Amino acid sequence: GEDVEQSLFLSVREGDSSVINCTYTDSSSTYLYWYKQEPGAGLQLLTYIFSNMDMKQDQRLTVLLNKKDKHLSLRIADTQTGDSAIYFCAESINNDMRFGAGTRLTVKP
Amino acid sequence: KAGVTQTPRYLIKTRGQQVTLSCSPISGHRSVSWYQQTPGQGLQFLFEYFSETQRNKGNFPGRFSGRQFSNSRSEMNVSTLELGDSALYLCASSLQGQGVVNTEAFFGQGTRLTVV
């Protein structure tokens, strides 16, 4: 099985908050990332968090890290139709990066 | 500043053939990583090249190989293609290597390979 796990689909209404969850298995992960992939495009780094942080906020994005439970979440406030994409969480250990399968976020008007 | 360029964007091959994909990193970036993306398996790491040397390798069979040139451009080769090799192949470039936060990885748009 995959080392990094995410639910595959999430659907929200425009203006609501979206919360995308991720679990990872390697406690020695140093950094955790969120990437966004829009249709026909490559991956774009959205934000990252150091493993010794609990929370990081960047405009509409809030990343929460529960190191004890190895749980990472990405909250998007005031979700817009332009936020519709696939969101990947990833962990890095030394020079190795491992990605989840991606969560497809659909934003309904 | 030009982004990461992958060529070709689309490719159709038949089983048993071989294929070479190309990735031109952002100017000055020395690390190029390759990933395979499929609906069933998600994004899986193939290998990383840094200064013309393979530095990391994922869990893929030997049919998947790569190389990096002195200008940091990288090629990925898949021999004896199988139907299951159909996927989007993404490359990412960074200054120092994947997983290093202060050298963000920039992804190309990918090459969509279809094996028939």
What are the tens digits of pLDDT across the range B46-57?
998 998 999 888
Cα of B69 to nearest chain A Cα, Å: 21
Q: What is the rounded distance in angstroms from the CA atom of residue A87 to the CA atom of residue A102?
A: 5
Question: Does the pLDDT at position B101 exceed 60?
Answer: no
Two tokens at A15? 């203006």
Contact B105 A45 (CB under 8 A): yes
Mutate to test the interface with B, among A29, A95, A98, A99 (most CBs of B within 10 A): A95
Report residue A61 as tokens: 């994005």
Q: How far is CA B101 from CA B51, B91, B95, in A?
A: 19, 17, 10
Q: State how far Cα A22 lies from the chain centre.
A: 7
Cβ separation of B45 and A98 shorter than 8 Å? yes
pLDDT of residue B111: 94
Q: Which amino acid is at A34?
A: W
Q: Is A102 in contact with A44 (CB distance < 8 Å)?
A: no
Average pLDDT over every residue of A5-34? 90
Across the interface, of A45, A93, A102, the residue whose CB is closest to B42 is A102
Cβ within 8 Å, pair B98-A93? no
Least confident of A29-33, A77-81, B39-43, B90-94: B39-43
Contact B43 A101 (CB under 8 A): yes
Residue B66 forms contact with A (CB below 8 Å): no
Q: In which residue are the tokens 């120092």 written?
A: B96
The shortest CB-CB distance from A2 to any of B42, B92, B106 is to B42
- Selecting from B45, B101, B109 the residue whose C-beta is nearest the C-beta of A41 gives B109
Q: Is the pLDDT of residue B102 over 50?
A: no
pLDDT (tens digit, 9 = 90+) per residue, A23-82? 987 877 778 889 998 877 778 888 888 888 889 998 999 999 998 899 999 999 999 999
Looking at every residue in chain A, the average pLDDT score rounds to: 88
Give the list of residues 6+ apart from residue B75 with CB closer than 8 angstroms, or none.
B20, B21, B22, B23, B66, B67, B69
Q: Facing residues of A97 across strands?
A: A92
Q: Which of A44, A50, A58, A97 to mutate to test the interface with B (most CBs of B within 10 A)?
A: A97
The whole-angstrom separation of Cα A83 and Cα A20 is 12
